[in-house]
């Protein structure tokens, strides 16, 4: 099933998983996929290492497993550190597994790796994918602007290039303040970007995640989010429940404002995905 056809029918609700860093954890992710599959998301996407670290070989296996469970997989495909030949190889493997949905990405620039630059931007990969087969193509977008762009306006100019190259729909970077998303949606519409935009929601449910948010994530942390994290950071269960509640609140507000879709960054946590799904399924379907 092509994801663009799902958007034509309903508000999309999807999950994202990542391959474990080592093969010993493979059983754990397969078990997680069983649980996530039971929640019947519209698709599950699988991250792919941009090169240098991570376990990209497993991404295809995981995507195939998702498909076996009757759920549509989306394979992330970063291009900056890969040659055309390597991308071709991955596409052939993907086709052989029946994968027809790709999230085309540049990948983060790693200071320890000299980029291959067969593809400089995600839009170059999208142009290439259009020639390579009949894939449904998603792209990434950034409600608060990509850190490489000087301004949000400049980033949206570049996003238009990505969409014009053939991105069928977009998935946002995580954000904790819906107002950024609404402003972004207005600005993209004004630029003539008319493809569906799924909102990326990350439930923050443990202390490690909070620390990562504060140091590496470019997303603004609204006062109410910071207060919750400060209050519960030393009480794991309360923090988990508060993080779930925060994500549910964001989703309810987005649904009320006619969002095209919700993409849940599950962090491979099926318990959290279940709690959120149970709370919002009826709200999203209405």
CB 82 within 8 A of CB 51: yes
Q: How far is the CB of 232 from ligand FAD (least distance, A)?
A: 27
Q: Which is nearer to ligand FAD, 170 or 272 (CB)?
A: 170
Q: How far is the CB of 196 from ligand FAD (least distance, A)?
A: 14
Q: How far is the CB of 170 from ligand FAD (least distance, A)?
A: 9
Rounded distance between C-alpha atoms, residue 9 and residue 26, angstroms? 34
Q: Which is nearer to ligand FAD, 161 or 245 (CB)?
A: 161
Rounded distance between C-alpha atoms, residue 88 and residue 231, angstroms? 49
CA-to-CA dists, residue 247 to 118, 178, 253, angstroms: 38, 11, 10
Q: Which is nearer to ligand FAD, 78 or 203 (CB)?
A: 78
Which one from 16, 100, 144, 198 is the annotated catalytic residue? 16
For 102, the 3-state DSSP assignment is strand
For 120, the 3-state DSSP assignment is coil
Q: Which is nearer to ligand FAD, 149 or 206 (CB)?
A: 149
CB 175 within 8 A of CB 146: no
Q: How far is the CB of 85 from ligand FAD (least distance, A)?
A: 19
Written as six digits, the tokens of 227 are: 């207060």
| DSSP one-letter code for 175 | -
Among 2, 20, 22, smallest CA distance to 12 is for: 2
Rounded distance between C-alpha atoms, residue 130 and residue 133, angstroms? 6
Give me the residues that bind ligand FAD (CB under 6 A), please. 47-48, 50, 76, 78, 103, 105-108, 121-123, 140, 146, 148-149, 155, 158, 161-162, 171, 173, 200
Rounded distance between C-alpha atoms, residue 23 and residue 18, angstroms? 13
Q: Which is nearer to ligand FAD, 157 or 179 (CB)?
A: 157
Q: How far is the CB of 234 from ligand FAD (least distance, A)?
A: 31
Is 233 a residue of the active site? no
State CA 100 to chain mean position distance: 17
**Residues taking part in catalysis:** 16
């Amino acid at each position: 099933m092509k994801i663009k056809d799902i958007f034509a029918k309903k508000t999309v609700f999807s999950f994202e998983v990542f391959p474990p860093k080592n093969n010993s954890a493979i059983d754990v992710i397969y078990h997680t996929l069983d649980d996530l599959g039971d929640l019947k998301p519209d698709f599950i996407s699988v991250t792919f290492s941009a090169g240098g670290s991570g376990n990209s070989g497993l991404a295809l296996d995981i995507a195939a497993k998702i498909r076996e469970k009757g759920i549509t997989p989306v394979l992330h495909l970063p291009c900056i550190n890969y040659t055309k030949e390597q991308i071709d190889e991955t596409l052939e493997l993907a086709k052989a597994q029946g994968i027809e949905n790709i999230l085309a990405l540049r990948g983060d620039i790693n200071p320890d790796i000299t980029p291959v630059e067969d593809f400089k931007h995600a839009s170059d990969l999208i142009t290439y994918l259009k020639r390579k087969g009949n894939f449904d193509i998603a792209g990434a977008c950034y409600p608060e602007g990509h850190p490489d762009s000087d301004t949000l306006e400049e980033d949206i100019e570049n996003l238009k290039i990505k969409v014009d190259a053939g991105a069928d729909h977009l998935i946002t970077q995580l954000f904790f303040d819906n107002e950024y998303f609404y402003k972004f949606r207005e600005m993209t519409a004004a630029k003539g970007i008319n493809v569906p935009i799924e909102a990326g929601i990350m439930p923050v449910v443990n202390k490690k995640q909070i620390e990562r948010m504060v140091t590496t994530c470019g997303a603004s942390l609204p006062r109410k989010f910071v207060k919750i994290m400060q209050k519960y950071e030393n009480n794991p269960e309360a923090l988990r429940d508060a993080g779930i509640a925060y994500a549910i609140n964001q989703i309810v507000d987005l649904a009320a404002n006619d969002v095209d879709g919700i993409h849940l960054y599950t962090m491979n946590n099926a318990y959290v995905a279940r709690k959120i799904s149970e709370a919002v399924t009826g709200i999203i379907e209405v």
